Amino acid sequence: MESFVEYLYAIVIGIIQGLTEFLPVSSSGHLVLSQHILGLEMPGLTFEVLLHFGTLVSVVWVFWKRIVSIVSSLWSFIHKRNGEKFLADSDRKFALLLIVGSIPAAVVGLLFKDFVESAFAAPRLVGFMLLVTGCLLWVADHLAGGNKTITGVSWLDSIIIGCFQALAIMPGISRSGSTITGALFRGLDKRTAAEYSFLLSIPAIAGATLLELIEVLQTGEMAASWLFYALGMFAAAIAGVAAIRIFLRVLVKNKLRYFAVYVWIAGLLVIFLV
């Protein structure tokens, strides 16, 4: 039976996962950092699945209005069949843009799965990837963005932003940081860039969670009590909501450079100390 310390451990790991998943500092990079420097370890695949589910809840919680609007628009089109063109509605176009933008990461993840997994065992490589993240954030902080809303986003825009997301498969590259950089580079306004970036995380996180869940079901792993798992998942969800709101505020105020400096320092520490 878990002690109070172990329950506290679940909460701490959940908070770290929730914050680093959405703040532009790379959750995978911090996982490697915590394992090699702080001595923290992920207590089993089941726990990892539930942490990812908790962060998925965070995105849905913050952007539920947009998600409901997209789902409602798709549902209405399917049932009314009134001859209206599918892309005539911005919400339906948004849904397709999210699908198209998710393709590059899915392809890279499938083709380079073994290489990416081996990268987690190479902390010095993760350190260099953190330096790359810092550069992306510094560039993003100096990109004014454009005036493109979802109606003005092209399929090429979504593919390019998706390629930036594919970079984040490497541990140490921030998914939110790279996709925001790609979106601003393609001329999206900051509000649309942030919304697209975070909603684009839903297929990515859901896909990773599903793959991990399949592995859990195959192995039948259950290393701790449900309370332990629930505490971690709840902590990840709450921390994730806070991280998204902080990131949106920082993006609007052009303060991403502070995160750039942070990940540069973290990367150098990994390179020279691990």
pLDDT digits (tens, 9 = 90+) for 194-243: 999 999 999 888 887 887 777 777 766 655 677 888 899 999 999 999 99
Structure token digits, residue 91:
């919400």
Q: Which residue has the higher pLDDT, 119 or 157?
A: 157
Query: What are the pLDDT digits (tens) for 12-48?
Result: 889 988 998 899 988 877 777 776 666 666 666 677 7
pLDDT digits (tens, 9 = 90+) for 39-78: 666 666 677 778 888 999 999 999 999 999 999 988 888 7
User: Tokens 């947009």 correspond to what residue?
Assistant: 66
Q: Considering only 34-38, 92-96, 247-251, which range has the smallest mean pLDDT?
A: 34-38
Do residues 72 and 255 make contact, with C-beta atoms less than 8 angstroms apart? no
CB 178 within 8 Å of CB 133: yes
At residue 1, the pLDDT reads 43
The predicted-structure confidence for 236-247, as pLDDT tens digits, reads as follows: 999 999 999 999
Question: Please, which pLDDT band fits residue 178 given cuts at 50, 70 and 90?
Answer: very high
pLDDT at 199: 93
Give me the pLDDT at residue 83, please.
58
Rounded Cα gap, residues 41 and 61, in angstroms: 28
Segment 85-93 shows an average pLDDT of 82
Domain boundaries, the chain: 4-273
Q: Region 149-161: what's the mean pLDDT?
A: 92
In degrees, rounded to 5, the angle at the alpha carbon of residue 27 between the alpha carbons of residues 184 and 179 is 15
136 to 133, 174, 175, 178, 221: CA distances (angstroms):
5, 9, 11, 6, 38
Q: What confidence score (pLDDT) does residue 244 get?
A: 94
Lowest mean pLDDT among 112-121, 142-151, 215-224: 215-224
Report DSSP state, residue 87.
G
